[in-house]
Copies of this chain bind each other. A is one copy, B any other.
């Protein structure tokens, strides 16, 4: 949809569909730096060029505003800036969590973390909580996952196979995932917010 450095005279909000933000090194190495889901905000007030590549991974519908009028609107209605600030702080937290993943987690933990996050996001919507089991579709190809996690697509494939072999997940088709025991998956992800028994 958009290449880093392109002129971008609008800001937008995702209505439906999924897109990714990526950065690349000139030799082609690619890192995803953000995932755009419905309700996410795109673009930056006060900057007229895109800082990242934006790629649609599904059909996508966005609600666009030309940048100038939007900036003026922001000046007039203080609440918008405050709302944007909250959203941006949330994104910053997400980015920092991702830094921990990229810098310190093993390949297996990375995959488990990604699955946990996608599972959680879907869980809030269609919560098939019969027992502990959970079900969702992966919105990403293996390659996109690799770019998200800082791995190669081969490693992604292998680790998914390994998690399946170990019974942490089940697959029906390539994209449809069943998590029989969410606790187990969270353990595998490493960030074990549940080791703390007393909180």
Q: Is A26 a contact of B192 with CB atoms below 8 Å? A: yes
A159-195 vs B, CB cutoff 8 Å, 1 = contact: the mask equals 0000000000000000000000000000000111001
Q: How many residues of A contact B (CB 8 A)?
A: 44
Most buried by B among A85, A88, A103, A192: A103
Query: Is A91 part of the binding interface, using a Cβ–Cβ cutoff of 8 Å?
Result: yes
Q: Is B85 a contact of A33 with CB atoms below 8 Å? A: no
Taking A52-B96, A99-B33 as contacts, is the C-beta distance between A25 and B84 under 8 angstroms? no
The interface residues of chain B lying within 8 Å CB-to-CB of A46 are 86
Q: How far is the CB of A44 from chain B (nearest CB, A)?
A: 6
Of B31, B45, B74, B104, the residue contacting A99 (CB under 8 A) is: B31
Q: Is A93 a contact of B51 with CB atoms below 8 Å? A: yes
Most buried by B among A86, A91, A93, A99: A99
Q: Is B100 a contact of A31 with CB atoms below 8 Å? A: yes
Q: Is A104 a contact of B191 with CB atoms below 8 Å? A: no
Query: Is A16 part of the binding interface, using a Cβ–Cβ cutoff of 8 Å?
Result: no
The interface residues of chain B lying within 8 Å CB-to-CB of A150 are 102-104
Interface residues in A6-47 (C-beta closer than 8 Å to B): 21, 23, 25-27, 29-31, 33-34, 44-46
The interface residues of chain B lying within 8 Å CB-to-CB of A82 are 74, 81
Interface residues in A101-119 (C-beta closer than 8 Å to B): 102-105
Q: Pick the 5 closest A-B CB pairs, nearest first.
A: A103-B150, A78-B78, A102-B102, A33-B96, A95-B95
> 19 more A-B contacts (CB under 8 A) besides A27-B190, A88-B89?
A23-B97, A25-B191, A30-B104, A31-B99, A31-B103, A33-B96, A51-B93, A52-B96, A75-B78, A81-B81, A88-B92, A91-B92, A95-B95, A99-B99, A99-B102, A102-B102, A102-B150, A103-B149, A103-B150
